[in-house]
Amino acid sequence: MLKGFLTGLHILVCVLLIAAVLLQSGRSAGLSGSIAGGAEALFGGRKKGLDEFFARLTVGLAVVFGLLSLALVVWK
């Protein structure tokens, strides 16, 4: 029962972590800049506070992901 709950929580954290990484703006104007084109200018530039929020969210979710991974390995 507990392992099933931890597995479901782990999947949810995985999906949220993927979404948080994809929603961050790129740091360089490499390939991501050429794919997006002028989309940031069209939809408005990213706010610095939003980038900081997604950076902290990504770190927090990564820590939770790591702890859940360890818990699932230990909890056989």
Of 5-9, 45-49, 54-58, give the lowest mean pLDDT range.
Answer: 45-49
Long-range (24+ apart) CB contacts under 8 A made by 5-12 are 6/68, 6/71, 6/72, 6/75, 7/72, 9/68, 10/65, 10/68, 10/69, 10/72
Query: What pLDDT is stored for residue 27 in this prediction?
Result: 64
Rg for the chain (alpha carbons), in Å? Answer: 16
Comparison of pLDDT for 70 and 47, the residue scoring more: 70
Query: What pLDDT is stored for residue 70 in this prediction?
Result: 96
Which pTM does this prediction carry? 0.71
> pLDDT over 70 for what percent of the chain?
72
**In this predicted model, what pLDDT tens digit does every residue of 17-34 receive, in sequence order?**
999 999 887 765 444 455
